[in-house]
Chain A
């Protein structure tokens, strides 16, 4: 077990120039260890972005804790949006394994998966 892995290096985020879209990229295993870093990536951004893209192209595995973090992100967006339907959360570029996990959980019912 790796005791001191720098988790912050595994979550990177990028805000578009007009501040509309936030892209969060998660590298390696998306699991409980990233809890704090993942939350930090989208909290305290003012004004709040309208589009959230979670880039999973570098994500190898995703566990149920990660699904929970995605739900937290969704709650965050719903609480921030001025009117229903204005904020979107997209999950992008999942590999086959991660895609299967998202499918089994039927997360496509609450997120846009591309």
Chain B
């Protein structure tokens, strides 16, 4: 209370005391008295008043500046300022210009004063609780940002196994909000130099969407280097996601496997916007979603939905999330797929298309939106070797102190062969054998080729001339999977024998099957009529196969593997 006159101030004190006792929810009132505004301002922050009352004389002397200073002291918390005025005084506009919040009239009417004070108290309580809520929200928001930064850090670390940074062939843009928007990108080279990549989009936003990326990336990065096939990895991902995600959450994903030796792509799209293969002519081929997203059903038919694509020189593969389609401009128009395809088809100097797409999207939506993920893979350069060296593996020969003399024999029966993927098992065994791990890539290629030959042509007697066209390719794989499912007898035997010749050595791979032997060349091309044989010949010192025989023998020179890897590309590419 600000009032210099003792009589006025005691009357007012008494009034306030009686008001507080009179109910209406008013809390007890404690008053501090000041002679003038300056004295009150000096004590303000120590007192933290709920209301400031200027007595009748002080009110006459009050200036706008006094009130301004009082309010500044109060900060955001609402502290009403009341003036006492005599009923006789005419309340003119100028006397109100100082800016008080409420007037108490003399002579006092206690009930009216009580009513006003109670109303002001409710207003102040309300404002104060608003302020508290605002502060709480601020704190929560700061905590949330902190948690998100932590989550982002975890996801960055999860991506450390990826090969995204190791090659110029892959360019990618993930929204800075990607983690919490549920977008995830994973890429790694499998043994033998196959590139596997996955772009996924979890439904929903926030931490729940981000959490799903953890099992996804951990499965991806543990299975790819072990040589598991595309469909095997996808089945595993689907099962895991179906198991861990709540029933209304799932993951749209496009995943592909690029074999740089055979210049061939196998691509799966479950619920993502079409991926796009761009030929150097500008012609586009859309690879649309042909499967439910991952995690929706517990059992899936991945194989039937995989597309097989032969790659030509100069081809680029583009993947994107629906953030690209759904970018909007200021007028609310969608960027849309067609606009994106037009940009893709348009002639842009090689190497600049990726940036061109990104800048077109951000220009379109006036930089309002950055929720898009976009990946470009220049397939010509996507192999893990560049020029003359494998970039991902160490030179093997120097690192191997001894190779040892050993041999391993496997026989796979129909049960094992029906379930597709015996190669990762072989790899995991070989990883324990001295020296074999460093020999991994060429060995993978040779084993893969010979095993598939034995299965597809030896046991199942498929006709590889089917693979001449893309639709034939699909048919070929349909027959393969039907054949595998229906396999009731037969076997494939794999024998590896290593001989150490003082730091250099020979690895002999023999693959034999229970079939009737390779068909004669004359009967429309044999198993190796495609790219397989040149590839094998490039890697191996010797490849022995004969029409009519179901036994193939390949010999690898140990210690010259880096050179072998180097040589493979030229003959395989054509």
Contact = CB atoms under 8 A, between A and B. Distances in A.
B449 interface: no
Contacts of A19: none
Interface residues of A, number: 16
A25 to B, nearest CB: 20
B271 A69 contact: no
Dominant secondary structure at the B interface: loop
Contact of B292 (A65, A69, A75, A106): A106
Interface string A64-81: 110111011001000000
A71 B249 CA distance: 9
B288 A105 contact: no
Contacts of A32: 204
Nearest to A108: B292
A106 B270 contact: yes
B246 to A, nearest CB: 8
Interface string B248-284: 1110100000000000000000111100000000000
Nearest to A74: B247
B213 to A, nearest CB: 15
Interface string A3-38: 000000000000000000000000000001000000
A97 B293 CA distance: 19
B248 A72 contact: yes
Contacts of B290: 106
A64 B292 CA distance: 13
B247 A72 contact: yes
A107 B289 CA distance: 11
Given A104-B288, A110-B296, A68 B250 contact: yes
Given A68-B249, A110-B297, A104 B203 contact: no
Contacts of B249: 68
- Which interface residue of B203, B247, B288, B290 has the most chain A CB atoms within 10 A? B203
Interface in A67-114: 67-69, 71-72, 75, 103-107, 109-110
A71 B204 CA distance: 14
- Which interface residue of A72, A75, A105 has the most chain B CB atoms within 10 A? A105
- Which interface residue of A64, A69, A71, A103 has the most chain B CB atoms within 10 A? A64
B291 interface: yes
Interface string B163-206: 00000000000000000000000000000000000000101100
A105 B273 contact: no
B204 A105 contact: no
Contact of B248 (A68, A104, A109): A68
A104 B372 CA distance: 18
Given A68-B203, A68-B204, A110-B297, A105 B271 contact: yes
A97 B298 CA distance: 28
A107 B271 CA distance: 9
A60 to B, nearest CB: 13
Nearest to A76: B247
Contacts of B271: 104-106
Given A64-B203, A68-B203, A68-B204, A110 B250 contact: no
Given A64-B203, A68-B204, A75-B247, A104 B292 contact: no
Interface in B126-174: none
Given A68-B248, A71-B250, A110-B297, A104 B204 contact: no
Given A68-B248, A71-B247, A106-B293, 5 more contacts: A67-B250, A69-B248, A105-B292, A106-B292, A109-B292
8 contacts: A32-B204, A64-B252, A68-B248, A103-B289, A106-B270, A106-B271, A106-B291, A106-B293
Query: Which 7 pairs, one residue from A and one from B, show the smallest C-beta to C-beta distance?
Result: A68-B248, A64-B203, A105-B271, A106-B292, A72-B248, A104-B289, A75-B247
